[in-house]
Structure 1
Amino acid sequence: MIKLIASDIDGTLLEKSGDSISESMIEIVKVLIDKGIIFVAASGRQYDNLRRLFSPIKDQIGYIAENGSQIYYKEHSIMQEPIAPEVVRGILEDVYEKDECEVVMTGKKGTYIQPKGEFFRHYMEEVLKYDLQIVDDILAVEDEILKISIQDKNGIDEAAVYFKEKWGKTLSVVTSGIIWMDLLAFGVNKGSAMRALQEKLDIKSEECIAFGDNYNDVEMFESVGTSYAMSNAEEDIRNMCNKTTNSVENTLLSILEDL
């Protein structure tokens, strides 16, 4: 029996980061809810951004936000895991020594950037439509930090190697697409968040389905009974999943037909 369905957003429900969730997808989720199935948006995006995407049903679904560092269900916070302040400072100092990298810092009270260029500010505010605080000195921010995201618009691979080697034993470090990587408290990821949600809601892993397309979805795939990789995902991502799909909407419609 299916009790919970989780889906990644960018590259899974959305082809482009500036897109909106389709009306047809919103209607499908409404049907799932009517049938007693919990829908969870699982993403590296911020909680408020996800609520905007799912505005018509924002108070009726669950959220795994910031790649697992924030978990909400029906507006109620289930868990938030901050990074140690001295670790935050060390990461930020490293980022600002790398001219090609930009950083987004998400805390319990807000999301902060100190952009090195206008392109990054525009991308975050106008394309992704993040609710941001632009600061003059990101090191001076007073907040409990949940996630640090690093962007290199030329490709994140080189920076990922550096940060994984330096911080991989202290933090969870995961790439999220071609130009992003996320650093979270050690052991925090979409999978740990899924398990916390399952425990809170008294749902077994085999009663859950997850959709995703990237390496930040791996632990989530491992924490559910049935996993779907997008058909355009990397081969090793597809191989670790039970099934593949080229459309979450179409797959959900098929699932609903079988209920």
Structure 2
Amino acid sequence: MIKLIASDLDGTLLQEGTMDINPEIYDIIHKLKAKGIVFAAVSGREYDSIARVFAPVKDDIYFIAGNGGIISFQGEIIEKMAIPADVLKDVVEYVRSQEDASFMTAGSAQAYVERADQAFVKKLREGYKLHVNEVDDVLHAPETMTKVAMYNEKVDAAAGAEEAKKIFGDRIQIMASGDYWVDFVDIHSGKGNALQKLCARLGITKKEEVVAFGDNCNDVSMLTEAGKSYAVTTAREEAKQAAKYVLEKPGPDSVLNVLKMILEL
């Protein structure tokens, strides 16, 4: 019996960098809940942005934000996995040094961007609908950070992640999170670890009771953790290899079709 469904957003349930989700998902989530199946929205985005996407059902689902850095339910943070201050400093100095790159850090629910990068601030506010806090120096922001996200349209994210891993080794998790996003999260974070924590909270002990959907490198740990896992047809090869199934039809409606099939079981 399926007890938990976890789905990525960008590239899986909606187009990368937009808020455009098929509103049919809200009805499906209500029906899943009525059957005792929990839905979790899992994303590299911050809570504030994900909650806007799922506003009609935000009190009915769990949120895993910042690639596993935050787990929350009904506005309450259940888990926060912050990056140690010394590691954060080194990562921020690294991303600042990368040519043509912009970056943000993420706290409990919001993004922090250095005010000098106004083009990036605009992109986050208008595309991802993030609540962006403009600061002079993210290292002096008033809270601990769960993620550093580097954005560079001139470097493929997977290649950028591999290059950063050569510098940091096992001090921090580094992953591609979109075509041009490279995310840095605490070693105890990540979507797979967060899914494990959520299962423990819900009393789910069998992998076969969990379904996951994803499309990118940052979804691999989650897809591996679930008993039934699906990669969308446009997914990166790493996600397809990690998933048990690859959806044949393109577009987010292919995910909705699987959810409908689960409702009929």
| Bin for the TM-score computed over the shorter chain | over 0.9
CA distance in 2, matches of 1:178, 1:189: 18
- CA drift of 1:243 comes to 1.2
What is residue 209 of structure 2 aligned with on the other side?
A: 207
SS at match of 2:261: helix
Distance 1:110 1:234, change over 3 A: closer
- CA drift of 1:131 comes to 0.5
Count, aligned residues: 258
What is residue 59 of structure 2 aligned with on the other side?
A: 59
- For the Cα contact (< 8 Å) 2:223–2:239, is it kept in 1? no
* Deviations, residues 103-134 of structure 1 (Å, cap 9, x unaligned): 11112374200155433121101111100101
- CA drift of 1:164 comes to 1.0
- CA drift of 1:201 comes to 0.7
Letter in 1 for 2:19: D
What is residue 225 of structure 2 aligned with on the other side?
A: 223
What is residue 111 of structure 1 aligned with on the other side?
A: 111
CA distance in 1, matches of 2:237, 2:108: 36
* Deviations, residues 23-56 of structure 1 (Å, cap 9, x unaligned): 1111111111111110000100101111110000
What is residue 242 of structure 1 aligned with on the other side?
A: 244
* Deviations, residues 208-248 of structure 1 (Å, cap 9, x unaligned): 10000111111101111100010121334223321122311
SS at match of 1:71: strand
Letter in 2 for 1:140: H
Distance 1:91 1:195, change over 3 A: same
For structure 1, the 5+ residue unaligned runs are none
Distance 1:175 1:53, change over 3 A: same
| Structure 1 stretch displaced more, 222-231 or 105-114 | 105-114
Letter in 2 for 1:194: L
SS at match of 2:147: strand
Letter in 1 for 2:133: Q
What is residue 259 of structure 2 aligned with on the other side?
A: 252
For structure 2, the 5+ residue unaligned runs are none
What is residue 175 of structure 1 aligned with on the other side?
A: 176
- CA drift of 1:195 comes to 0.3
Distance 1:84 1:231, change over 3 A: same
| Structure 1 stretch displaced more, 39-48 or 74-83 | 74-83
- For the Cα contact (< 8 Å) 1:102–1:115, is it kept in 2? no
- For the Cα contact (< 8 Å) 2:7–2:42, is it kept in 1? yes
Tell me the C-alpha RMSD between the 2 structures: 1.6
Letter in 2 for 1:216: N
Distance 1:90 1:239, change over 3 A: closer
- CA drift of 1:254 comes to 1.6
SS at match of 2:146: strand
- For the Cα contact (< 8 Å) 1:13–1:248, is it kept in 2? yes
Letter in 1 for 2:193: S
- For the Cα contact (< 8 Å) 1:102–1:116, is it kept in 2? no
1:24-63 equivalent positions in 2, closer than 5 A: 24-63=24-63
CA distance in 2, matches of 1:160, 1:239: 18
What is residue 86 of structure 2 aligned with on the other side?
A: 86
CA distance in 2, matches of 1:242, 1:75: 33
What is residue 144 of structure 1 aligned with on the other side?
A: 144
User: So what's the TM-score if we normalise by structure 2?
Assistant: 0.92
CA distance in 1, matches of 2:123, 2:28: 30
User: So what's the TM-score if we normalise by structure 1?
Assistant: 0.94
Letter in 2 for 1:213: D
CA distance in 2, matches of 1:47, 1:196: 17
* Identity %, equivalent residues: 35
* Deviations, residues 176-206 of structure 1 (Å, cap 9, x unaligned): 1110011111131100000000001101222
SS at match of 1:169: coil
